[in-house]
Structure 1
Amino acid sequence: MNTLTTQDTFDVLLESAPQNFSVLRAAGKELYQAAGLPAAKAEEYKFTAITKKLEKSISDFRAAAPISISQNQITESTFKGFDGYILVFSNGKFLPELSSQIEGVQVGSLEENNEGIGTIAKAEKDAFAALNQATFSGGISITVPKKIQVDKPILLLSFNQSNEGQVITPRFWIEVGDFAEVTFIDQSVGLGDSSYFINKVVEAKGGINSQINYYRLQHEGDQVIEVSNIETDVQADARFTSVNISLSGDMVRNNLSLNLLGSNCEGNMYGIYLLNGKTHVDNHTNVDHTIPHAESNELYKGIFDGQSRGVFNGKIFVRQDAQKTNAFQQNNNVLLSQDAIVNTKPQLEIWADDVKCSHGCTVGQLDEEALFYLQARGIDKTLAKGLLLYAFVGEVLEKIEDESFKNHVVGLITNRLGSKF
């Protein structure tokens, strides 16, 4: 067991955890204490010194209590043009009194009970997943029954605030039945400018021929530290699509795993990280092909300015029985500053012999010839630069099917890039 200062301070959080799910929590606590927080040389956190960051930035390792949220705050935080359902959270706690009723969909607090917790996002895979399992409170369970097609997107609107650098532990359980369809938009709103630590776990279970879109926007304060573990089981003929947009934060670690468990299923993982200042974002992805005739597509694009830092580590596993697999993985990055850094490592592990798989990465600077071409036609240099960068990330933006969310993200990105016209 590692003897790390931060691990000891998390004992306060462990001891004050709720008492329900006692067996589950005990297992999470045992796994967390056995593994300890990632050491400086831990391979999976090699370029992201999350333990050191926590020790430096978090002053109170107790769970942050829910804060009062008004209807006006919800209205002001909902992006323009959104037409859908809203589920509201305060420091990880679900607030049903401020949330929409969704016809045909079962929504409730995890405190009421859910036997599926921990069966997809397994605590032994990551110390922070184990810590969340031991300490989460007020999470949510969302069940979309068989053949239900939710007609509008569901906005998971989380308000976060802690004046004492405390810990927020959201936990989502999502189960989508056979032949059901749903779109989620996961958006967090930071209130205030203090530092706090978000340790989030999302488990999603997609049934046969189900369709799940999971869009995520990370755009909180520059002092926020976040680790998220999102893991999904995808069954036969089903499709799961993730689009993750990271725009701000102090240090952010995103663990995203897809388990492709049935033939003719499809898993898609797309991401944009647009960073400046000293923001650090680490995307670790994992796709596990276990069955023949499945497909995965992965495309992450990063733009770095200032002293920002990015990490991409993508793994594709093709098991021996997973013949006729199609798997694509690509990570492209543009550095705008000499002080910006990116570490990228796409990986393939293939045990089958009848597959089509590819992976690759690029790191470069803005194309000066293209920039000169636009300027020669009377376009301002700042606008020309922004247009080129927007074109660079546009391929990922096109994967967002909900127009209101896409327009909102486009507005944020074009404002950041100076390409709005």
Structure 2
Amino acid sequence: MSTLTKQDPFSRLLESAPTNFTAARILAKECYLAQGIPLAKAEEYKFTNVGKKLEQNITNFFNADSFEVSEELIKSSIFEGFKGDVLVFSNGKFLPAHSAKIKGIEVSVLSEKSDLALGSIAKPEKDPFAALNQASFENGIFISIPKKAQILKPILLLFFNQANEGQVIQPRVWIEAGDFAEVTFIEQSVSLGETAYFVNKVVELKGGINTQLHYYRLQNEGKPVLEVSNIESDIQKDARFTSVTISLSGDLVRNNLSFNLLGSNSEGNMYGIYLLNGKSHVDNHTNVDHTIPHAESHELYKGILADQSRGVFNGKIFVRQDAQKTNAFQQNNNILLSDDAIINTKPQLEIWADDVKCSHGCTVGQLDEEALFYLQARGIDKMQAKGLLLYAFAGEVLEKIQEESFRTYCDTLIQERLGSKF
């Protein structure tokens, strides 16, 4: 790890940070200064030179101010068929006045919860960007679902971003769910304008016993946008957490996703699609930590890369010595549509227990020419046949989205990109 320059420009953010969460911010600042922005030699960012991109594109090094969001803009940005509650953000800052009052759920500005154990899940010592966010974010959202609450309607976290060239946006989200609670979140960002800015997002999810949490993400921001996200969840006894990430756009995107399986019969599910063209770069780093016996995890990421795009997948599964009877599955499959497209994939298992069922693997290839010929022989033109095959490849991940309206919306976006619609 190393700083961008001799005087780290992000020090301006650290110096101007708010004073709430004092202890958590001091710890995070120390962690950030000890790590610095990762450059090319940093092992965890080996194939994603975030430091170089930031140096080239981010010049302001202050958090972007929030801006006025109209009701018309909110309504026009919600995807068709959505029937749930909407929580609105402007440049990462929660806007209570434009957000739904959800019955049975506590939703508040994060700064009102100064006694919260901020950073206890997404620990600042694990990643410099998580540390930077914790040390200098200006506002965020606190969401608490009480015990046994069955939230049947999905909750949409709608992020509007409109920053000046080279500014920083730092959303901070804390979600906690009591025992036996059930809830679905959908995260969607809307870029207004075509400037290059840096989104540094942290989401901490704390589930109780037997909670059922779903967290779906659509990354489809403007092409010049740089984004790093740290999303981490503690999963307790008998609980299940499912994450689905759909990445379609952005200059450089780094997704750090971590599950901590802390109770028996817990389950963590990670699914993702990255559908890239142009010079987009998407890096998915996942981490599943099995700490207890009788828990399981399932992970499937699929990539379709065209033009000069680049994908990175680094999935780590840790099975601790006491985590007997673990069942862990990890797979990464990729299709390259261009000689210039690149994928770096590294599935990893580290196992210290001896009574486990674990598997991992990856594939990289091109379209099946025989299947393509078969479809063309039945009257489907080559481009549409190609799109249908790619859509079938991606469909296995789309099926993991249980919220029908969001699945349909993502399905449409992917079909349009692939040219598979009749």
> What is the TM-score normalised by the length of structure 2?
0.99
Please tell me whether residue 389 in structure 1 is matched to residue 390 in structure 2.
Answer: yes
CA distance in 2, matches of 1:35, 1:60: 21
Deviation at 1:117?
Answer: 1.1
* Structure 2 residue matching 1:38: 3-state secondary structure: coil
When structure 1 is superposed on structure 2, of 161-170 and 227-236 the one drifting more is 161-170
2:344 is the alignment partner of 1:360: no
Say whether residues 1:279 and 2:280 are aligned partners: yes
Give the whole-Å Cα distance in 2 for the aligned partners of 1:84 and 1:4: 43
Write the distance in 2 (CA, Å) between the matches of 1:164 and 1:46. 27
Contact 1:6 / 1:55 at 8 angstroms: preserved in 2? no
Aligned position for 1:317 = 318
Q: Which runs of 5+ in 1 are unaligned?
A: none
The residue correspondences of 1:338-357 to structure 2 (distance < 5 A) are 338-357=339-358
Distance 1:325 1:353 in 2: 10
Tell me, yes or no, if structure 1 residue 24 matches structure 2 residue 24.
yes
Identity of matched residues, %: 73
8 Å Cα contact 2:292-2:323 kept in structure 1: yes
8 Å contact kept, 1:329–1:360: yes
- The residue type equivalent to 1:48 in the other structure is T
Q: Distance in 2 between matches of 1:82 and 1:163?
A: 31
- The 8 Å contact of residues 3 and 37 in structure 2, kept in 1 or not, is answered as no
What do the CA deviations read for 1:206-238 (whole angstroms, capped 9, x no partner)? 100000000000000000000000000000000
**CA deviations over 1:374-409 (Å, ceiling 9, x no partner):** 001100111100000000010000000000000000
**Distance across 1 between alignment mates of 2:181 and 2:282:** 33
Offset of residue 151 of structure 1: 1.6
Once residues 346 and 157 of structure 2 are traced to their aligned partners in structure 1, the CA distance between those partners, rounded to angstroms, is 31
Shift of 1:164: 2.6
The equivalent of 1:299 in structure 2 is 300
SS at match of 1:26: helix
TM-score between the two structures when normalised by the length of structure 1: 0.99
Q: What secondary structure is seen at the aligned counterpart in 1 of 2:279?
A: coil
- Alpha carbons of 1:6 and 1:416: their partners in 2 closer, same or farther (altered >3 Å)? farther
Q: Aligned partners of 2:247 and 2:232: how far apart in 1? A: 18
CA shift, 1:7, in A, is 6.4
CA contact (8 A) 1:6 1:54 kept: no
RMSD over aligned CA atoms reads 0.9
Task: Check the 8 A contact 2:64/2:164 in 1, yes or no.
Answer: no
CA shift for structure 1 position 2: 3.0
Q: How does 1:231-246 map to 2 (within 5 A)?
A: 231-246=232-247
Letter in 1 for 2:65: A
Aligned to 2:193: 192
Equivalenced residues, count: 421
Question: 1:260: Cα distance to partner?
Answer: 0.2
Provide the rounded CA distance (Å) in 2 between the counterparts of 1:120 and 1:102. Answer: 25
Q: Provide the C-alpha distance between the structure 1 equivalents of 2:410 and 2:215, rounded to a whole number of angstroms.
A: 14
Alignment of 1:3-402 (within 5 A): 3-5=3-5, 8-113=8-113, 114-402=115-403
- State how far apart, in whole Å, the 2-side matches of 1:6 and 1:364 are: 43
SS at match of 1:232: strand
Question: How far apart in 2 are the matches of 1:7 and 1:56?
Answer: 16
1:6, distance to aligned residue in structure 2 (A)? 8.5
Unaligned runs of 5+ in 2: none
Provide the rounded CA distance (Å) in 1 between the counterparts of 2:283 and 2:164. 26
CA distance in 2, matches of 1:391, 1:271: 15
Please tell me whether the aligned partners of residues 6 and 51 of structure 1 are also in contact (alpha carbons under 8 angstroms): no
